[in-house]
Amino acid sequence: MSEDIFKKEKEKMTPEKGFDLIGIDYFSDSDNPLYLIEHFDMYQDALNAKKDRKKPEEYFVLYKGTSGEFFCR
């Protein structure tokens, strides 16, 4: 998957409110290997859920900032 397509997919999956824990399906045949794990109202809850995963580096949290800017951590 190209970096540009991957970035667009992440932006498309970013919630308007709250924080989404996202995983990557490396074996997916489609152009959108990202999938939602869980939605959280608080960032700390999403971060804790990520840290509780077996390989936390394979997951990330998507959210929008107060000015509507896109964040991926």
- pTM, two decimals, is 0.86
Q: What is the pLDDT of residues 15-30, one digit of tens each?
A: 999 999 999 888 877 6
Are the C-beta atoms of residues 60 and 20 closer than 8 Å to each other? no
Give me the residues of the chain with pLDDT under 70, please: 1-5, 30
The reported pLDDT for the residue numbered 60 is: 92
